[in-house]
Structure 1
């Protein structure tokens, strides 16, 4: 019995060696014929495709969110600059000397103790004033109103 048990593995080894010799003699080189795409490779390809497809949407969303964040940061910077400009303008309007200068320049107001002069040059055409650039501008509204009153007052 012990000899039979020892003989079986030897017989199995001999049988395997004989098969290998037959395969070599057939020109196979001892290798089994591998098809181009094994089942393992197909499963691996399917898994890789599934992973790629499952990651495509989150990556696209991540990129879109990063772009949106960059746009919002740019808008925030513009808004901050605008707020700074408005704060500076508020400080200017709180300054009494600035308000006096603007009233004198824009509205032709004068302080009671100061003599103010308005120089009218006769170089402009009737009803037209010239700017510094030389382009004509419309006369002020009150001048137009007064001319229409004068025209209505003239006899026909």
Structure 2
């Protein structure tokens, strides 16, 4: 029995010794982790390099995006200008046709061919709608034009 007690006490002693050793190792690791800074030197340098890159690239990236937008705007203006040029070319081609020019002169300038009689239909309600232009429909268009120029000239003298 004495051997059992020695053996048991040796096993118990080893167990206790193992627990004490484990506790010391755990306390030692806890102290090291508590003393160790969370940010190591390498991590701090890496963080500083990343921040520097972000700051260094922020302005050029903003410029790049801004210039891309400007380029897109310029391309849209070019497309609009090309469309306008096509419209003007079509208008120029139509104006080369004498029949089209004659039709425009008849519609807008009230021209008539020799021997034709021109009739102007006056809306009876026109005087009610525009009392300030009384008599403007009774006069030729060029008289109204010169009256407008004279009115604008008088307004500029004030």
TM-score (norm 1): 0.59
Contact kept in structure 2, 1:24 and 1:30, CA below 8 Å? no
CA distance in 1, matches of 2:26, 2:119: 119
Name the structure 2 match of 1:101.
103
1:117 is displaced (CA, Å) by: 2.6
Of Structure 1 and Structure 2, the greater helix share is in 2
Specify every segment of 5 or more residues in structure 1 that has no aligned partner in the other structure, as ranges.
1-20, 125-129, 146-156
TM-score (norm 2): 0.58
Structure with more contact order per residue of length (Cα contacts < 8 Å, sep ≥ 6): 1
Name the structure 1 match of 2:67.
65
Over aligned residues, Cα RMSD in angstroms? 3.4
SS in 1 for 2:111: coil
Query: Per the alignment, do residues 144 and 95 of structure 1 end up closer, same or farther by CA in structure 2, a change over 3 Å counting?
Result: closer
1:61 is displaced (CA, Å) by: 0.9
Name the structure 2 match of 1:116.
117
SS in 1 for 2:43: helix
Query: Per the alignment, do residues 122 and 87 of structure 1 end up closer, same or farther by CA in structure 2, a change over 3 Å counting?
Result: closer
